[in-house]
Structure formats: structure tokens, C-alpha cells
Amino acid sequence: MNLTKILFSLASVLSLSIGTIVYFLYQEHKQITEYYSSISSLGHEIIEVRDAVTNHALSPQLDPYFLNAEIVNLEKESQDLLSSYQKTPKLGLYNKQTNEVLAQFHQSLLALSETLDKVVGLIIVKDALLTSVIEHVELGPENSDLERDVIAKKIHQDANLDYIPAKLKSTVSTFKQVDSQRRALFTALLSPKNSEFVENSEKQLRQQAISVQKRIFQLLAALAIVVFSFVIYTYIHRLQELKRNNHAYQEAIDRTEKANHAKSIFLATMSHELRTPMSGVLGVAQMIREDTKESRTKEHADIIINSGNHLVTLLNDILDFSKVEEGKLELEHTPFSLRELVQPLESTLLPLAQKKNITLTIPHYPSNELKLVGDVARTRQLLFNLIGNAIKFTQQGKVEVNIQINDSGSVGVLFTVTDTGIGIEDDKLNNIFIPFEQAELSTTRKFGGTGLGLSIVKKLVDLMEGDISVSSRVGYGSKFDIFLPLEVQHDRVDLTNIEEASPNNTEPLHKKRILLVEDNRVNAVVAKSFLKDYAQDITWAEDGLQALEVLDNGQFDLIVIDNHMPNLSGVETIKRIRETLKLNTVIFAYTADVFKEAHDSLIDAGANFVLTKPLQKPSLELALKQFSREIMASSHQEIEGNTVVPLIRHPASQLALTEEELSASSSFNDPSLSRVTKLELLIGLKTKLNALTDQLIEAYSSSSLELLIEALSQIETSASELELEEVLALAKVAKESCENNELPNVEHLQQLINRMLVNLHQAQRLTLELSHSTKHA
């Protein structure tokens, strides 16, 4: 049982308890209020009776017997009120006090009513006595108009009562005594004490009601605090719980992403590791097929090529399916012509259909006026899968592709692929788009495949927000309809130069210098074989660093480079070619990575085109055709922009290091120089020779005599300081040519640069020796 449940239980019990107490207090408050009203009513009624008795005494107009009945009723009501309270079950805080107030009120009311009873009785006796006196007195005619109150007043004042008979003297005396008692009771009755008990009782009950009301408010406030505190705690606890859940959810997402990332890395690694050797296998097989004249050998080579291509297709399906499942497949939104869509399909699939003696019909759209906007690569991929499936499952007959463009109403394109193949049973139609499912289990064994082709088609169609439907009849064939909501554009263009824009003649590519950068020897042999028909000379560099060194010393018309290489990757090599060497040479990159990110990184680095391993000769030829103009333009620019033969920084391996003069320099060998001074001298010399070499090459490349004279003058100064006689002599000769307004001989300047580089390498070696000896000194 967690803390929240415990606190909820406690809060519930406490709230219920407070609510119960509040309920009973409310009932008590209600009861006190009711009794307050009752005693207030009784109190005012008894006061009214008292006033009536007083008024009767002053002016006898009311019936005293009626007043007596009213008093009796009030006494009875007061007794009933007290009895009802005492009989009622009570659980209040002020039961005792309330009972005392009611009892005291009842006693006070009884005392007042008793006094009133006496007063009323005396009034009745007085009236009877007065009546008796008046009946026995013979009033004269002069006294006939006297009323009862006048006689009573005279009796009270002891006036002349000679007219009263003697036998009534005792009655008069009694009358006087009764009247005296009445007056005394009347005085007591009018005392404030006989009315204050009502106000006191009302005040006490009113205070009790107020006190109960305050307790109710306090308890309600406590209840509100309890509820509010529990709500706040629940809210905070809920926030913390949500935070924990979000953290756990985020961790789960991170784990899932890591797992997906690991899967992607695994697939990419698997792809690379499979495609790299497969490139060698398929490449050598193609070389064997082209070079051999024996039909049996060609047949065996075809088996290798077909099996390898099938393996690559399976690998592509798995990778594509993985990308679609992970949501990493991003669609492009660019205009493309139907010819761009159809031509690669026809060139790839037509040979497959012809090999099976199947007729493949794909409509031709030579015009570039009509453009579709979407992802041409993914559209081509799903059509490739559908047409490829149709060819695979058709043993005889034909496969037809139809394209209908609707640019009104529901804008889009309807692709229809119809075949005369084996067909699909009705109950199996719903399963063909499920991953790794095929209509029959025997299909995999008979026709091969992973069962992912149509699944990828369905996911691509859904990703493009399109629709796909299929109808089939066993033994007669199948029909697939795909509607894609592709935007339709009509562009008016000049079609007269279409053939010029897409040249098919590869003749201009002959006699071109090509640099091949590949770390795998087998793949290099294959790539050379594919390129040999298009180049006069092919230079092979085993990694990016070697390629940069070769490019620094020579010129090429085309660079073909692998991506994954030791020392320096293809991406970084291309960046340095573009940014450091400032070369515009056409670059074809090829990689075993099929993910879009890898291809984009190569393009962003500066590659013109990216090929996917295994390297296929048709794909390479297509790229050469596509970029033939750029290759020719690059070649012409190099020829036109380099009328001056460039100076070269040769690597140490190509220099005659024995020609160095630094070791024999007396300035360097001066015994007065300390090791530290020599180190400083060597470091300064290396920096200076390096900068002067670059300065000299740049000055000569710009054909600026002024810059050449400046560079050669600095070389003379440095050579003279260190007694580098050969360097000094070569610099003087070159400077004299410049002063005569002639560019120095390029071979002469190259000798000067070589001498400077030889001494620079010697300075490097001596620096290392001195540094080592200084550490161990």
C-alpha cells in the first residue's frame, strides 16, 4: 500500500469525521435556533399577558377569566417545550447549557405566571367585593351616576362612607386588604426582573447558536484545508509521477532509438561488408564474360552475375523496408519528366523480359513539355518492383505498363501494370502486401525473393498518399493499379536540342586522364577494367592522402573515388580537393552505403555524382555520358588556364636528398652555437623555406615578374645567411632573367625548388635529432 493510498484513506476518514461533526453541529444550531424562536415567542406572549393584566387593573375591560386561561396555556407550552427538549436525543456541544437556559426560562415563566394568577385572582375577588358593596348601598339620586371605580376609589381613600351599612364594613375592610395586596403584586409584576429573563434567555441561546455557527465555520475551514492539502499533494505527486513516467517513457524511447540506431548501423555495416566483396565478385564476373570467347565460360559468368544481382536485390529490399519502417524515408518534391521515369525502367527490365521471351511494353514519352512533381526515385522504385514481380511470375505472354495522366479534377497519375502470369487466388490477395508474405509458401522456393517487394510498394504508395489496388485470376494473370497524386506541370521548352543535351556518344571521353582512389585492390582492378575504354591513362591511389599528393603534382580530367578508406575518407578527400586544392575536376564517388545520408554527404562535400556498390559498368557508362560535357569543359579549362607549365612540390621520395647543403654550412656548424640556438635556427629555416617555396610557385603561376623578383630576393638572402651556395646560385640566375623582363626557365626554377625542399627536409631531420639529444642530455 503506497503513501498516496494511505494519505487518501486518512484524508477520507478525517473529512468524513469533520463532515459528521459539522452535520451534528448544524442540527444543534438548527435546534437552538428553533428553541430560541420558541422561547422568544413564549416570552413575548407572557409579557403581553402581563401587560393585559396591568391594563385590566387600570381599566378593567378584559375578562379576567380569559387572562387566566391564557396564563395556563403559556405555562403548559413552556412545560411542553422543556419536556420535548429533554426527551429529544442529543449529541451537541451545548446540550447542558441549552437545557439550563430552557429550565431557567421555564422557572422564570412559572414565577411570572404565578404572580399573574394571583393578580388575576385578586382582581376577581376585588370585583366581587365591590359588586357586593354596590348592591347593598342605597345610593341617593344625587349618587346614581357614580360608577364602580368612583366607589372603589372612595373606599380606597377612606372617604365618607356613611351611606354604607354597618354589616358591610367587614366587606369594605376585606376589599381594602385585597386591593392593597393587588397593588403590591402589581408593583412586583411591573418590576424589570419579570421581563429580563426573556431577554437573558434569548441572549444565551443566541450566543450558543453563534458559537455553534463559529465551530461549524472552523470545521468547514479545516475540511477545506484537508481537501485542499490532499488535492495539492495529489497534484504534486501526480506531477512527480508524470515526470517519472515521462522520464521512463523517454528512456524507453531512447532505448528504442538506440536499438533502431544499432539496427541501422548493423544494416549499413552489413550492406557495406556485403557490397564491397560483391562489387569484386560481380566486377570480375563481368570482366570474364566480356573477355572470354567460350560460351560455357560466358554461361558460368552469367550465373555468377545473376546470382550476385539477386543477392543485391534482396539486400536492397531489406534496407528499403527498414528505412520505411523507421520512418527515415524522406520524399523529394522536384519536377521530372516521364522519360526520366521510364527510360531507366526499360533499360533495366527489358533485358530480363527478353531473356524469358516475354514481351514488355512500356509507353514512350519523348516530349519534355509535361512534368510531374514528386519523388522520381521512389516512383521508379515502386514501378520497378511491380514490373519486376510481373516479369518474375510470368512464364510466357506479356507484361504491359500503362500510364494515364489526369490534370483535371483529381490531379495525379494512374500507373497500371498488367501481366499474363500465374495469377493470385482471391483469398490470398489481402496477404500479398504483408511483409515477408507471399501468396504461396512454395513461391519463395520456386521464384525466390524475400516477400518484401510488394510490402515496400504499399508503404511507398501510402507515404505518397496514393492508392493501390489489385485484381487477379489464377492462370490468367494479375493487374495492379496505382494512383499517385503527383502534380502535373506543362513546360514549353525547345526540343530541337534534346539529343545534344543528352549525348550518347562516348568518343569525347577517350584519351582522358583518370584518377582512381580505391583501397581495395580487387575493386580497383574491376574499376580499372570498366574505365579503360574511356581513358588514356588511369592512376591508382590507395587512399585519400595519396590521392591528394598525386593531385598536387599532376592534373586529371576525372576522379573516381571510394568513400570508406583508411587514413582519409572519401568525403574528407573530396572536401580537400574542392577547398584546399581548388580543383573543379569532375568527381564520381561510389560507396557501399545505400542510405540517403551517406550519398548526401558525398554530394555536399563536392562530388558530382554518387554510384552505389557493387559498381556496375552500365551505371558507370551512364554517368560518363551524363557528365561528358562537364569532363570536357574541365579539360579545356585546364588547358586554357595553364599555358605555363606548373611547378611541383615533389615528395621526399622523389628528391635527391644527398644534394642538401645545410649539414656543411659553417654558419650552422659554428661551435659557439648552443643546441637551443641551433633548434631555433632550424625551426626558423623550415618555416622560411616552406613559405618561400609556396611564394615562388604562386608567383610563377601568375607570371608576375615583380612577384618573382621579390620571392627570389628573399631566397638569395636566406641562402646567403646559411651559405647554401647551390640555392644561392640558382636564385641569382633566375632573378637575372626576371630583371631582363623574361620568365625564368621552368626547369631551372624546378631545380631551385627541389634544392630548397632538400634542405627543408634536412632541416626537419636535424631538428628531430637535436630535439632527441636535448631531451636525453
Q: What are the tens digits of pLDDT across the range 193-252? A: 666 777 888 888 888 888 888 888 998 999 899 888 888 988 888 888 899 899 999 999
| Mean pLDDT score, 720-748 | 88
Confidence at residue 312, expressed as pLDDT on a 0 to 100 scale: 75
Interaxial angle between packed helices 95-136 and 169-189, expressed in degrees from 0 to 180 and rounded to the nearest 10: 150
Cα 158 from chain centre: 116
Confidence at residue 588, expressed as pLDDT on a 0 to 100 scale: 93
Go through the chain and tell me how many residues it has: 777
Overall pTM surpassing 0.85 (yes/no): no
Residue 490: name the closest of 409, 371, 374 by CA: 371
Confidence at residue 496, expressed as pLDDT on a 0 to 100 scale: 35
Contact 761, 654 (CB under 8 A): no
pLDDT band for 528, please (50, 70, 90 cuts). confident
| Mean pLDDT score, 752-767 | 86
Residue 284: name the closest of 528, 516, 510 by CA: 528
Cα 291 from chain centre: 58
Q: Which three cell numbers stand for residue 437?
A: 508474405
Please give the Cα distance from 364 to 374 (Å, whole number).
20
| Mean pLDDT score, 64-82 | 74
> How many beta carbons lie within 10 A of that of residue 771, not counting itself?
13
Residue by residue, DSSP assigns 603-627 as HHHT-SEEEESSP-HHHHHHHHHHT
Is the previous residue joined to 614 through a cis bond, with omega within 30 degrees of 0? Answer: yes
Instruction: Classify 606 in phi/psi space as left (phi over 0), alpha (psi -120 to 50) or beta.
Output: left
| Mean pLDDT score, 264-288 | 76
Confidence at residue 589, expressed as pLDDT on a 0 to 100 scale: 92
Contact 82, 103 (CB under 8 A): yes
Confidence at residue 141, expressed as pLDDT on a 0 to 100 scale: 43
Residue 225 to residues 25, 233, 243, Cα–Cα distance (Å): 19, 12, 26
132-190 pLDDT, tens per residue?
Answer: 666 665 544 444 434 555 655 655 555 455 555 655 666 666 666 666 666 666 666 66
Contact 375, 340 (CB under 8 A): no
| Mean pLDDT score, 28-44 | 81
| Mean pLDDT score, 516-531 | 87
Cα 6 from chain centre: 36
Return the higher-pLDDT residue of 140 and 724. 724
Please give the Cα distance from 515 to 507 (Å, whole number).
19
Confidence at residue 400, expressed as pLDDT on a 0 to 100 scale: 92
Contact 319, 270 (CB under 8 A): no
**Which residues have C-beta within 8 Å of that of residue 758, sequence separation ≥ 6?**
655, 656, 657, 659, 660
Give all strands of the β-sheet with 334-337 in edge-to-edge order: 334-337, 370-374, 487-490
Confidence at residue 407, expressed as pLDDT on a 0 to 100 scale: 65
Q: Which three cell numbers stand for residue 163?
A: 351611606
Round the average pLDDT of the chain to a whole number and report it.
77
| Mean pLDDT score, 705-717 | 89
Instruction: Give the least confident one: 293-302, 500-509, 531-540, 694-703.
Output: 500-509
Secondary structure element (H or E) that encloses residue 537, with its range: strand 537-541
Place of cell 362612607: 161
Confidence at residue 187, expressed as pLDDT on a 0 to 100 scale: 63
Confidence at residue 439, expressed as pLDDT on a 0 to 100 scale: 44
Q: Which three cell numbers stand for residue 92?
A: 451537541
Please give the Cα distance from 353 to 634 (Å, whole number).
40
662-704 pLDDT, tens per residue?
Answer: 888 877 777 777 777 888 888 888 888 888 888 888 888 778 8
Confidence at residue 556, expressed as pLDDT on a 0 to 100 scale: 86
Contact 662, 763 (CB under 8 A): yes
3-state secondary structure 234-299: HHHHHHHHHHHHHHHHHHHHHHHHHHHHHHHHHHHHHHHHHHHHHHHHHHHHHHHHHHCCCHHHHH
Contact 419, 476 (CB under 8 A): no
Give all strands of the β-sheet with 513-517 in edge-to-edge order: 537-541, 513-517, 558-562, 586-591, 609-612
Q: CA 435, 441, 442, 445 torsion: positive or negative?
A: positive
Confidence at residue 54, expressed as pLDDT on a 0 to 100 scale: 67
Give strand pairing partners of 361.
Answer: 400
Confidence at residue 517, expressed as pLDDT on a 0 to 100 scale: 93
300-350 pLDDT, tens per residue?
Answer: 888 888 777 767 766 776 766 666 666 666 777 888 888 878 877 887 788
| Mean pLDDT score, 561-588 | 90
pLDDT band for 495, please (50, 70, 90 cuts). very low
Confidence at residue 576, expressed as pLDDT on a 0 to 100 scale: 92
Instruction: Classify 475 in phi/psi space as left (phi over 0), alpha (psi -120 to 50) or beta.
Output: left
Spell 179-209 as b/e; 16+ CB within 10 A means b.
Answer: bebbeebbeebeeeebbebbeebbebbeebb
Please give the Cα distance from 654 to 666 (Å, whole number).
28
Q: CA 579, 584, 588, 594 torsion: positive or negative?
A: positive
> How many beta carbons lie within 10 A of that of residue 351, not counting itself?
11
Place of cell 505518397: 464
| Mean pLDDT score, 106-135 | 70
Please give the Cα distance from 386 to 135 (Å, whole number).
142
399-452 pLDDT, tens per residue?
Answer: 999 988 876 656 788 999 999 988 888 877 777 877 655 544 444 444 445 556
Give strand pairing partners of 481.
Answer: 416, 469
Contact 761, 691 (CB under 8 A): no
Q: Give the HSE-up count for residue 178: Cα atoms under 13 Å, Cβ half-sphere.
A: 22
Contact 194, 46 (CB under 8 A): no
| Mean pLDDT score, 506-526 | 76
Q: Which three cell numbers stand for residue 301?
A: 559468368
Cα 86 from chain centre: 72
pLDDT band for 772, please (50, 70, 90 cuts). low
Rg over CA atoms, the chain = 61
Confidence at residue 641, expressed as pLDDT on a 0 to 100 scale: 44
Please give the Cα distance from 362 to 316 (Å, whole number).
24
Percent of the chain residues topping a pLDDT of 70: 75
pLDDT band for 500, please (50, 70, 90 cuts). very low
Find the Cα–Cα–Cα–Cα dihedral 491, 496, 498, 500, rounded to 10°. -140
